[in-house]
Amino acid sequence: MSHPSKSRPRKHHLGVVPVVGVLLVALFPVACDSNPAGSSPGNLDSLNVTPRATCSLPLDQVHDSLAKDAIPSLTNPALTDAGGVDYLQDDDRVLGIEVGTQAIAVPHNILRWHEIVNFDFADLSLAVTYCPLTGSGLVFDRSDVAGATFGVSGLLIKNNLIMYDRNTDESLWPQMARGAQCGPSDGTMLFTYPVLEMTWAGWRALHPATKVISSETSFGRNYNENPYGNYDEPDNTTLLYSMPIDTRRLLKERVLGIPVAEGGLAFPFLALDAGPPVRAVHADDGQPLVVFWDRAFQTAMAYRLHDTAQTFEVRDGKIFDTETGSRWRIDGRAVAGPLQGQRLQSVRDAYIAFWFAWAAFQPETALWTGE
């Protein structure tokens, strides 16, 4: 059994490589205005966030990157069958959700250009969000916040997307803070919805009947093109804005993070991948949990264990529980054995992000290294 180790991060500052700013200006030429650190973001005024006393955001860490809605969020985009898309390759990444019995894939190819997709289902309103600068993919239940429809404010904090709601108060919601930190809704937390981020091929293998967002969004974007180039390579040290960096892992290594107050647990992909291609790692964040890893799908997910005696092991590249011998998939579903058809409870707050961003938002994080 492996457990995360906790130590105080060692930090330093990285410089800004200008090419990222140039890239964004070229792609989104609408009123792009980058202010220096410590300046008051002009977008805060354009978003009608008043009074400033209701803003708990550290304004000296907030930057203007683009005009409000220069990156246009989507609302209820058209969905198509998996065979109806021509803009996805097998190793492209998607955020996968299940709504009732329907599986839906929201690809990074779409989210790099739109960052937020608002969905309204019969009895559920969701916001599927992805920030390309921090590699963070989270899904929020909008039903408990008056069904707020989220847009891209053009503001960043710690290089992370700050959403705004299109209701009259226009509060600001930093994505990785998972709640409002400016405006009348300041202090309101968002309820996260389970999401499984993995390759497109992996998601299709789990859900052959999945729906996926159509490329016909009316915005004329080339969804075959990655506007960020090689920005997301683990050892790429380019950031749009400089910030303190925890140097214990590569800057943009993906981690599965589980938030707990100021800290939490982080499971780095390269550490998970250093062992066998499929893993079951037992850990504890105050309650017992297990993290499944699958190299072929390039994903990890955490599941809550209510039975403290329940343990998992890998045999012949497949995950089994040791109590009943049932076989489990990466999505927490038992597919063979006495428990076939049952599912483990996802750790709803768990999500994947780049290491530098996770450590910035959860500065006292414990780090699993496989030791």
pLDDT tens digit string along 292-348?
Answer: 999 999 999 999 998 777 899 999 999 999 999 999 999 999 999 999 999 999 999
Residues 207 and 311 in one domain: no
Domain boundary among 163, 192, 213: 213
Residues 180 and 261 in one domain: no
Q: Which residue has the tokens 């509060």?
A: 171
Within a domain: 151: yes
Within a domain: 24: no
Give the chain's mean pLDDT.
87
* Nearest residue to 258 via CA among 149, 367, 146: 367
Q: Which residue has the tokens 């699993």?
A: 368
Domain boundary among 155, 186, 213: 213
Residues 106 and 168 in one domain: yes
Residues 182 and 327 in one domain: no
Within a domain: 15: no
The reported pLDDT for the residue numbered 21 is: 38
CB 201 within 8 A of CB 91: yes
Q: What is the pLDDT of residues 73-122, one digit of tens each?
A: 999 999 999 998 999 999 999 999 999 999 999 999 999 999 999 999 99
Residues 308 and 208 in one domain: no
Within a domain: 165: yes
What global pTM score does this model have? 0.88
CB 290 within 8 A of CB 283: yes
Residues 209 and 256 in one domain: no
Residues 287 and 151 in one domain: no
DSSP 8-state secondary structure symbol assigned to residue 365: -
Residues 187 and 276 in one domain: no
Residues 78 and 187 in one domain: yes
Q: Domain of 345: which CATH number?
A: 2.102.10
What are 188's two structure tokens?
Answer: 């309101």
Q: What is the pLDDT of residues 113-150, one digit of tens each?
A: 999 999 999 989 999 999 999 999 999 999 888 878 99
* Average pLDDT of the residues in 229-242: 95
The reported pLDDT for the residue numbered 306 is: 85
CB-count exposure of residue 180 (10 Å: 0-12, 13-18, 19+): buried
The reported pLDDT for the residue numbered 50 is: 55
Residues 58 and 182 in one domain: yes
Q: Judge whether residue 4 has pLDDT over 50.
A: no
Spatial neighbors of 158 by CB under 8 A, at least 6 apart, are 61, 134, 176, 243, 357, 360, 361
The reported pLDDT for the residue numbered 98 is: 96
Within a domain: 234: no
Q: H helices within the chain, ranges in order?
A: 19-27, 42-46, 108-114, 200-206, 269-272, 355-361
DSSP 8-state secondary structure symbol assigned to residue 48: T
For 227, other C-beta atoms within 10 Å of its C-beta total 15
Residues 260 and 199 in one domain: no
Structural domain total, the chain: 2
Domain hosting 359: range is 248-367
Integer Rg of the chain from CA: 20
Spatial neighbors of 35 by CB under 8 A, at least 6 apart, are 41, 42, 63, 64
Residues 282 and 335 in one domain: yes
Within a domain: 18: no
